[in-house]
Amino acid sequence: MHRHIVSIQGGMASGKTTLAQALEDAYPELHVYYENPYPIVQKRKELGLDIRTEDGFVENQSLFIQAEIERFRHFPDGHIILDRGPEDLEFYTLHYPQIHGHDWDIESRLKTELEALRECRSDQILYLRASNQLLQTRRDADQTRTRQSFERHQPLWALEENWYKQFPVYPIDTTAKTPEKVRQAAIHQLSVTGILGRGSEI
C-alpha cells in the first residue's frame, strides 16, 4: 500500500488540531500526526540561537527542516493526516524574514535543505480559512493554549493563502461553520478524493 499525505493548513487558531483530532477519533485507520515544535525550540535555546539574526534564523530553520524530513522518512504506508506539514515550514522559512524587513537570501543559504523538504510535500491540502478578527476571537476564547506568538504570526497570514494556491488545495471557510460542519466538509472532500470510503458519514 502506498502513502498518501494530507496536511491541514491555516492560520493559528483556525481549527487545525481540532479537525485532526476529530478525524483521528472517527477513522482510526488514519495515521494522524500533530505539530510539535518544542524539541527544536528547546534545542535552539540550548544552542543560544538568535532568530533575529540571519545566521541564527538559518540554523534554526535548518533544524526544523531536518526534523521534518526525518519525520517524513518514518511515515508508514497508508493515509497520513498532518496537523500542519512541510508546506507550512517552507512558507515560514521563506517569508518570515521578508515581513521583518530583512533581505536575507534564504533560498540560497538553505538551498539543499529546501530542495529536500520539497520532496516531502503533501499530496493534498485542506486549508482552513478565517478572518483575522475571527482568529483573534478564537485565540482569546481558548484558555487551554497560550499562543504567545499569535500577533507575531498575523502578518504572515495575509501572504499565506495566496502562496498555497500553487498546491492541490481544498479550502474550507470556517467563518460560519461549527467544528462539526468543518469536520463534515473535510470528510466530504476526503471521500471525493478516495482517502475515505464513499460511504463515509458526512
Closest CA to 86 of 33, 148, 41: 33
> What is the band of 199 on the pLDDT scale with cuts at 50, 70, 90?
very low
Structural domain contains residue 197:
no
The percent of the chain in helix, strand and coil, each rounded to the nearest 5, is 55, 15, 35
- What predicted TM-score, i.e. pTM, was given to this entire model? 0.84
Total domains present in the chain: 1
Write out the residue range of the structural domain in which residue 28 sits. Answer: 3-192
Structural domain contains residue 187:
yes
Structural domain contains residue 200:
no
> What is the band of 150 on the pLDDT scale with cuts at 50, 70, 90?
very low
Strands lying side by side in the sheet with 31-33: 31-33, 78-83, 3-10, 124-129, 169-173
- pLDDT greater than 60 at residue 162: yes
Structural domain contains residue 128:
yes
Cα→Cα distances 162→41, 91, 97, 127, 144, Å: 28, 11, 18, 11, 30
pLDDT in tens, 92-140: 999 999 888 899 999 999 999 999 999 999 999 999 988 777 667 756 6
pLDDT in tens, 39-56: 999 999 999 999 999 999
Q: What is the mean pLDDT of residues 142-163?
A: 63
Q: Which CATH number fits the domain that encloses residue 11?
A: 3.40.50.300
Angle between the N-to-C axes of helices 16-26 and 179-192, in degrees from 0 to 180, rounded to the nearest 10: 60
Confidence at residue 202, expressed as pLDDT on a 0 to 100 scale = 38
Q: Would you list the DSSP string of 33-55?
A: E----HHHHHHHHHHT--TTSHH
Backbone angles phi, psi at 172, to 5 degrees: -125, 115
Structural domain contains residue 198:
no
CB 146 within 8 Å of CB 38: no
> What is the band of 181 on the pLDDT scale with cuts at 50, 70, 90?
very high
Integer Cα distance of 145 and 142 in angstroms: 6
Structural domain contains residue 60:
yes
Confidence at residue 135, expressed as pLDDT on a 0 to 100 scale = 67
